[in-house]
Structure 1
Amino acid sequence: MDTIASTIADLTRDLVKLDSRSSVSNIPVADRIEPELRGFDVERVDYADAAGVAKRVLVANRGGPGGIAFSGHMDTVPETGWQADPWSGRVDDGGVLHGLGSTDMKGPVAAAIVAARSLPDRVPVTLLITTDEETTKRGARAIAEKSELVKRIRPKGILVVEPTSLRPVRGHRSHIQFTCTAEGVQAHSSTGKGRNANWTLIPFLAEMKTIYDRLRTDRTLQDDAYDPPFSDFNVIIDNHGTAVNVTVPLATAVIKFRYSASIDPTYVREAVHAAGRTHGVAVREAEEGSPPELPADHPFVAACTEVAGQAPVTAPFGTDASILQSIAPCVIMGPGDIGVAHKPDEAVSIGELASAVPLFQALAGRFA
């Protein structure tokens, strides 16, 4: 293993070993990253999330204003389904590093840090290292709204180094999250004195299934620039731990609707709220940010295409680009396979992480 690969492996392993699920503080990860940024002007932006958990994002610059910014996030999804230790950071004989967040996206973050600090001092480069990307995008918002360093630097472009197998992604979907709540009266279910909130929620969900079906069949609501062309409309249901012999006092459905820049979300938004009013379900929505999308011939997209040697594509998933696009044009391109993210036994090839370094550096050189 060469020096660059070994350095990336060591940093990725250290980051993976630190639990930074979105529900816990990421400050230990930020504290581990900051010593890697010697020679950079480093700005910490701290905040508390909605649960009061302390969070920190880092903005680091060297070489002055302009140039390119590399962005990645420190938080991970929960460890659902893992049988092995999610935080082992184990490297197998094939040079593959295992652990929660190894691909999404502690490995790509490590590669971006190594690439940035290995550039000549005269080349302007910035790192935007966020958190809460997997949930609210609050870390990216903190940078966009509060970072004085970003305001001074004004980067020319932002490369979000999410795993794309190093293929440039010129646009992706963003989401609206609907939290839909039905209330009941808790009682022993045998007494007939309670009211099960699920009986209120079920007819509402039947209308949500109609929206789901229409999104998959109505061509006017689809975008052929994306695969799949139809928008995601995914629902999870929570009875908040109620036992089967108790009438449910609170039933919650959370729906994530992902749409691309060419899709007007008005139909879905209005249909969800109308169904809530009809069936007595309270609907609250939170919007991630508008879908980022650059044309294929945009200069930043063209530069990424030339460096990567791969044609630009679009992606169905979302990233911090939905927020960071307010700072500068964004392209998503990083090492690793998004297909292994958010799954048990997530892993990343150290060789692929290392192969990203010269690509990142070539791109930074073009923007110097």
Structure 2
Amino acid sequence: MTDLARVALDLARDLVRIDSRSFVSNLAIADRIEAELSGFEIERLDYVDESGVAKRALAARRGPPGGLAFSGHMDTVPDTGWQEDPWSGRIANGLLYGLGSADMKGQTAAAIVAARALPDHVPATLLITTDEETTKGGAKAIAERSELARGLAAILVVEPTSMVPMRGHRAHVQFTATAIGVQAHSSTGRGRNANWDLVPFLSAMREINERLRTDPALQDTAYDPVFSDFNLIIDNHGTAVNVNVPRATATIKFRYSAGVDPIFVVEGVRDAARRFGLALAESWEGRPPELPVDHPFVRLCSETTGAAPQVAPYGTDAAELQAIAPCVLLGPGDIGVAHRPNECVATADLAAAVPVFMRLAEKVAEQGR
């Protein structure tokens, strides 16, 4: 293992050991990352999320402006299903285990080490976000407020793509439909269960889901799967089974690509909420980012890795960061192990990514000159 690889692995373990689930403050992990950025000019982009939790995104630059930026996020999904310590950072059989190891603390560590190791004449910029798994709040803060991010030529979002360049991905609209009932002991007949008001809406949502999966006019054959994601979560907010539910919510994440018009789904959800008397809230990401196959940055990433560009069915901070510069997703690790118990990434893959990141930054700088 090279010195750079060892440093990247040590940093990745340190980051995994810090709890940075999206609903907790990320200030501790932001401080840990900032400690690695000696010699960089740093912007701390602080904000308070929708739940009143303090958050911080970081932009950092060393060397001349412009060039390539590396972007990674600090937050993780919840530790659902984990039977071992999610923050152990243990290494076994060449794998680093822990919540966020593959999505995307390992990749973020590799990018930080690559940026630090670049020659002084090569621009080295880092855009380190948070709330990527929820609202993209950190990426929005950078896109709207960062001075250091101005003038970039391109952004490499180092999500786990098995080092295959992804020239685009889907973006999402999140819907939350709320039904209100009357809380009472369920045996008394004096309450009203909000779930019964939710049922007809859910039936309409099932029809939309089936249409997305079967109608070629609503699909994009460039993606795998070809149909848009329409994922449903139902929440009774802790109500016991012997209590009439006073509040029931159905939250749906609808992911669509640039080649799909979302209006069929959006109007269908809105109409069902109106018909069945539910309150409806919507949250939109930026438009789906998608560069053409022959875009210069896409070609450069493909030539450097030897892999043909593809598109990704999930979403990333590129939905917001594309406002700054063209974005390509490229990083070590397998997205298939993310958001699951026993998430892990191969240490050898992290090590191999560092010189690839450096070569890309150097080539973008050469093209700029």
Spell out, residue by residue over 1:299-343, the C-alpha distance to the aligned partner (whole angstroms, 9 max, x if none): 000000000110000110000000000000000000111010000
Pairwise mapping of residues 105-144 of structure 1 onto structure 2 (< 5 A)?
105-144=104-143
Give deviations 1:116-164, integer Å, cap 9, x for gaps.
111100001210000000000000000000112223xx11000000000
* 8 A Cα contact 2:5 2:354, kept in partner: no
Structure 2 Cα separation of the partners of residues 95 and 54 of structure 1: 35
**Paired residue for 1:60?**
60
What corresponds to 1:196 in structure 2? 193
Stretches of structure 2 that go unaligned for 5 or more consecutive residues are none
Equivalent position amino acid for 2:156 in 1 = L
The AA in structure 2 aligned to 1:2 is T
How far apart, in 2, do the equivalents of 1:127 and 1:226 lie? 29
Q: Offset of 1:39 from its aligned partner? A: 1.4
Q: How does 1:22-101 map to 2 (within 5 A)?
A: 22-92=22-92, 94-101=93-100
- Counterpart of 1:177, as a letter, is Q
Matched, 1:331 2:328: yes
Structure 2 Cα separation of the partners of residues 22 and 211 of structure 1: 29
Amino acid aligned to 2:214: T
> Counterpart in 2 of 1:19?
19
**CA drift at 1:367:** 1.1
Q: Quote the residue 1:223 is aligned against.
A: 220
Structure 1 residue 2 displacement after superposition: 2.6
Once the two structures are TM-superposed, the CA of residue 205 in structure 1 deviates from its matched residue by 0.2
Partner of 1:253: 250
Per the alignment, residue 359 of structure 1 pairs with 356
Deviations 1:274-322 (A, max 9, x none): 0011111111100011100000000000000000110000110000000
What's the counterpart of residue 161 of structure 2?
Answer: 164
Deviation at 1:95, TM superposition (A): 2.2
Secondary structure of 1:150's counterpart equals: coil
- Secondary structure at the aligned position of 2:69 is classed as strand
Q: What amino acid does structure 2 have at the position aligned with 1:73?
A: H
Distance in 1 (alpha carbons) for counterparts of 2:25 and 2:258: 33
| Residue 288 of structure 1: aligned partner | 285
Q: State which drifts further: 314-323 or 280-289.
A: 280-289
Output the amino acid matched with 2:311.
Answer: T
Structure 2 counterpart SS, 1:176: strand
Q: SS in structure 2 opposite 1:336? A: coil
Deviations 1:12-65 (A, max 9, x none): 111011000001111111111112111111111111111111111111111111
- Write the distance in 2 (CA, Å) between the matches of 1:136 and 1:148: 22
Match of 2:272 in 1: 275
Amino acid at match of 2:177: C
Give the letter for the 1:258 counterpart.
R
Distance 1:106 1:246 in 2: 42
Q: Given that residues 162 and 333 in structure 1 are in contact (C-alpha distance below 8 angstroms), is that contact kept between their aligned partners in structure 2?
A: yes
Q: What is the alpha-carbon distance in structure 1 between the residues aligned to residue 68 and residue 158 of structure 2?
A: 12
CA distance, structure 2, for counterparts of residue 307 and residue 337 of structure 1: 19
In the alignment, what sits opposite 1:148? 147
Equivalent residue in structure 2 for 1:303, among 284, 300, 303: 300
Q: 1-side partners of 2:183 and 2:52: how far apart?
A: 29
User: 2:311 — aligned with what?
Assistant: 314
SS class of match (1:55): strand
More divergent stretch after superposition (304-313 vs 28-37): 28-37
- Between the two proteins, what is the percent identity of the paired residues? 67
Instruction: Provide the C-alpha distance between the structure 1 equivalents of 2:215 and 2:239, rounded to a whole number of angstroms.
Output: 38
Equivalent of 1:341 in 334, 338, 342:
338
**Alignment-derived partner of residue 2 in structure 1:** 2
SS at match of 1:59: strand
2:165–2:330 contact (8 Å) kept in structure 1:
yes
The aligned length equals 365
Shift of 1:191: 1.2
Which amino acid counterpart does residue 274 of structure 1 have in structure 2? Answer: D
The amino acid across from 1:171 in the alignment is G
TM-score, normalised via structure 2 length:
0.98
Gaps of 5+ in 1: none
Q: Check whether the contact 1:8–1:350 (CA below 8 A) recurs between aligned residues.
A: no
The SS at the match of 2:149 is helix
